[in-house]
């Protein structure tokens, strides 16, 4: 499997694709006879969007690290004297 897959490098793109998929599936199901109201559809979309946003944020946060601090003190006029 290639290393640069969207799942590995672009969690935001993957989350956008999930939300778009759910947004597309709802109207299709309604066209085939699923009876839900616009409010129910909006509630499902809101829930999916919120869950995906939180999951993406947690995943992205787990991949971020702070740069290492330089163990040497900075050079100032006081340390040069």
Q: What is the pLDDT of residue 78?
A: 66
Q: If you ran DSSP here, which 8-state letter would residue 79 be given?
A: H
User: Pick from 9, 12, 6, 5: which is nearest to 57 by CA?
Assistant: 12
What's the number of CA atoms in the CB half-sphere (13 Å) around residue 67? 3
CA pair distance 6, 63, nearest whole angstrom: 15
pLDDT recorded at residue 1: 44
Contact 59, 53 (CB under 8 A): no
Taking a C-beta distance cutoff of 8 angstroms, is the pair 11, 60 a contact? yes
pLDDT, averaged per 10 consecutive residues of the chain (81 residues), comes to 55 82 87 90 90 85 75 69 55
What are the residue boundaries of the structural domains of the chain, listed by start? 6-64
Per-residue model confidence (pLDDT) at position 8: 59
Alpha helices (runs of H) in 1-81, residue ranges in sequence order: 6-9, 11-31, 38-62, 77-80
């Amino acid at each position: 499997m290639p290393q640069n897959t969207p799942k590995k490098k672009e969690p935001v793109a993957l989350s956008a694709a999930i939300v778009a998929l759910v947004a597309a599936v709802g109207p299709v199901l309604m066209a085939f006879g699923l009876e839900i109201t616009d409010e129910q559809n909006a509630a499902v979309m809101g829930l999916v969007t919120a869950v995906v946003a939180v999951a993406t944020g947690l995943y992205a946060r787990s991949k971020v690290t702070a740069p290492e601090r330089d163990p040497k003190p900075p050079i100032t006029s006081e340390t040069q004297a």
